[in-house]
């Protein structure tokens, strides 16, 4: 691999403020940071946002992103080592840390678990979990939608990864995942990911010390589950762990325990944090702009009683609403980094071999030429016009395109449809939510505080979806 960590050569449209200031600003206020930069350089700019790395070129010009992401096994590569920021959580053998042929093989292995028909088998679980979580909130008692959605998404991912969402070990895994995620919930605490100098074990009371201890307890539980499952293979199971344990490469070698652990961590964390945020934004918009929630309900009414989950999935307004939710504040702001493998040119700028480039979803989705009045939440724009995969790209693209996209969208639609049709909710705060850094993602700053005012009094239809059970 020819990636170069100190691409100090030619950096087009370089932001010249001191790099430490840029790093702090990027961690503390990524939206303000990107919006300022784009005022100066509309399509692309270079900046140093990670202390151990050279300049990154942020690109938000759709055709250029397409050129990069459709060539990211040759002219560009997607080196795992540049995702080092996630290494303490995911380990060295996660899909995200691999590259080249081992990356391709791992994706081929995991991908079928998140596709098409497999999703249908999760629908009953998703609907039941949404109801279970919402039923625990007494009427008129405030709760944070972000936390409630995390409870749902965590159980869904535990079921798809391990085939279990109950039981002692599962509860412990959930608890530790919550603890570890909470370390990165504010911009300040997210600094632990960005500034390696802060990653010091100063005992179990220090944030990083606690993180390391939680991680090793979680590892023990994961290795215990892996050990038991290896000892008792069951080909009838359809969960991802069973699949990963059973696969062998051309030499008859399977994945090691360490490789399994890292992949499980990846799916568990990538799979629940992001989806929970997307769903909480969805609940926010449906109540902040109640006419949008009403339109979803009207569309659901048209499906009659006990709608088929796949029919819910295909509803045009619900689809447009979810797209607009993922457009306006994309949960992931950037693609993983790509590295130029030859001297090239983008938008008239020279790009040297070794230059690191990232696609900036946040800025693409804020382009006035694609999305007039981009700050306005307007699902209809997705009905009036089709966008290319590089104009609307909440899940990235190319060789690292999100593996969990189908699950995330399916879950988001079913959860929103279930909650909107069964519960009447209100936002507690009339002030708008703004996006704030949460680890490497953007999430609602105040967590979307809501109350349940009543169970919806409509007799019919209530979402009582059935599914082809596993």
- Contact residues: ligand HEM, CB under 6 A: 95-96, 107, 114, 157, 266-267, 270-271, 274-275, 278, 331-332, 335-336, 394-398, 400-404, 407-408
Burial class (CB in 10 A: 0-12, 13-18, 19+), 367: middle
Q: Which is nearer to ligand HEM, 100 or 374 (by Cβ)? A: 100
CB of 325 to ligand HEM, least distance (A): 9
Distance in angstroms (rounded) separating the CA atoms of residues 277 and 274: 5
Measured from the CB atom, is 300 or 408 closer to ligand HEM? 408
Q: What are phi and psi of 41, to 5 degrees?
A: -130, 95
We find the least distance from the C-beta atom of residue 2 to ligand HEM, in angstroms, to be 19
**Minimum CB separation from ligand HEM for residue 78, in Å?**
7
Using the minimum distance from each CB to ligand HEM, give the nearer residue, 107 or 258.
107
| Rounded least distance, CB 279 to ligand HEM, Å | 8
* Residue with smaller CB distance to ligand HEM, 331 or 420: 331
Smaller CB distance to ligand HEM: residue 282 or 307? 282
Give Dmax (Cα) for the chain. 67
In the bound state with ligand HEM, the residue whose beta carbon lies nearer, of 323 and 335, is 335
Nearer to ligand HEM, 296 or 334 (CB): 334
- Identify whether the C-beta of residue 72 lies closer than 8 Å to the C-beta of residue 78: yes
Where are the extended beta strands (E) located within 128-252? 143-144
Q: Minimum distance from CB of 169 to ligand HEM (Å)?
A: 20
Alpha helices in 46-116 (DSSP H): 62-69, 87-90, 100-110
Closest CB to ligand HEM among 106 and 210? 106
The sign of the CA dihedral 161, 162, 167, 172 is: negative
Q: Strand (E) positions, 229-301? A: none
Smallest gap from residue 270 Cβ to ligand HEM (A): 4
Rg (CA), the chain: 22
Secondary structure (3-state) at 423: strand
Cβ-based neighbours of 157, under 8 Å, separated by 6 or more: 267, 268, 271, 272, 275
Q: Using alpha carbons, select from 55, 42, 50, 41 the residue that is nearest to residue 13.
A: 41
* Least separation in angstroms between CB 273 and ligand HEM: 8
Q: How far is the CB of 214 from ligand HEM (least distance, A)?
A: 21
Does residue 190 have a cis peptide bond before it, meaning omega lies within 30 degrees of 0? Answer: no
Closest residue by beta carbon to ligand HEM: 404
Residue 394 Cβ vs ligand HEM, minimum distance, rounded to whole Å: 5
Backbone angles phi, psi at 123, to 5 degrees: -65, -45
Q: Which is nearer to ligand HEM, 54 or 398 (CB)?
A: 398
Task: Check: CB of residue 22 under 8 Å from CB of residue 15.
Answer: yes
Which of 56, 452 has the CB closer to ligand HEM?
56
Taking the complex as a whole, the smallest distance from the CB of residue 386 to ligand HEM amounts, in Å, to: 20
Q: Are 268 and 157 in contact (CB under 8 A)?
A: yes
245 vs 248: CA distance, rounded Å: 8
**Contact between 428 and 451 (Cβ < 8 Å):** yes
């Amino acid at each position: 691999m020819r990636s170069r960590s100190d691409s100090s050569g030619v950096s087009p449209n370089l932001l010249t403020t001191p790099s430490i200031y840029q790093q702090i600003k990027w961690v503390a206020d990524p939206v303000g940071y990107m919006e300022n930069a784009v005022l100066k350089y509309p399509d692309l700019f270079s900046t140093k946002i990670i202390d151990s790395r050279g300049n990154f070129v942020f690109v938000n010009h759709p055709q250029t992103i397409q050129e990069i992401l459709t060539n990211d096994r040759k002219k560009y590569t997607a080196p795992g080592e540049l995702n080092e920021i996630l290494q303490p959580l995911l380990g060295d053998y996660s899909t995200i840390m691999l590259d080249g042929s081992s990356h391709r093989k791992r994706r081929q292995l995991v991908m079928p678990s998140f596709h098409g028909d497999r999703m249908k088998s999760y629908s009953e679980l998703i609907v039941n979990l949404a109801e279970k979580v919402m039923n625990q909130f007494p009427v008129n008692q405030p709760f944070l939608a972000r936390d409630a959605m995390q409870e749902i998404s965590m159980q869904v991912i535990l079921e798809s990864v391990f085939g279990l969402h109950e039981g002692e070990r599962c509860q412990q895994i959930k608890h530790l995942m919550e603890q570890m995620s909470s370390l990165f919930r504010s911009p300040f605490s997210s600094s632990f990911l960005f500034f390696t100098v802060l990653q010091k074990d100063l005992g179990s009371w220090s944030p990083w010390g606690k993180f390391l201890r939680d991680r090793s307890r979680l590892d023990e539980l994961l290795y215990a589950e892996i050990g038991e499952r290896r000892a008792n293979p069951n080909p009838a199971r359809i969960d991802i762990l069973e699949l990963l344990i059973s696969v062998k490469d051309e030499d008859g070698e399977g994945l090691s325990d360490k490789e399994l652990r890292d992949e499980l961590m990846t799916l568990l964390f990538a799979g629940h944090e992001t989806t929970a945020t997307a769903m909480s934004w969805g609940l926010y918009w449906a109540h902040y702009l109640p006419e949008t929630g009403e339109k979803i309900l009207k569309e659901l009414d048209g499906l009659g009683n006990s709608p088929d989950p796949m029919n819910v999935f295909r509803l045009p307004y619900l689809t447009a609403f979810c797209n607009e939710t993922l457009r306006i504040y994309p949960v992931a702001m950037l693609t993983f980094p790509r590295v130029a493998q030859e001297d090239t040119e983008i938008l008239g700028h020279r790009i040297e071999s070794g230059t690191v480039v990232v696609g900036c979803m946040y800025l693409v989705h804020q382009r006035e030429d694609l999305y007039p009045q981009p700050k306005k939440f307007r699902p209809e724009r997705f009905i009036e016009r089709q966008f290319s995969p590089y104009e609307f790209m909440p899940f990235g693209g190319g060789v690292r395109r999100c593996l969990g996209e189908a699950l995330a969208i399916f879950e988001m639609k079913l959860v929103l449809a279930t909650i909107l049709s069964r519960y009447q909710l209100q936002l507690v705060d009339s002030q708008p939510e703004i996006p704030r850094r949460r680890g490497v993602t953007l999430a609602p700053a105040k967590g979307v505080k809501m109350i349940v005012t009543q169970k919806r009094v409509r007799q019919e239809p209530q979402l009582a979806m059935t599914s082809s059970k596993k």
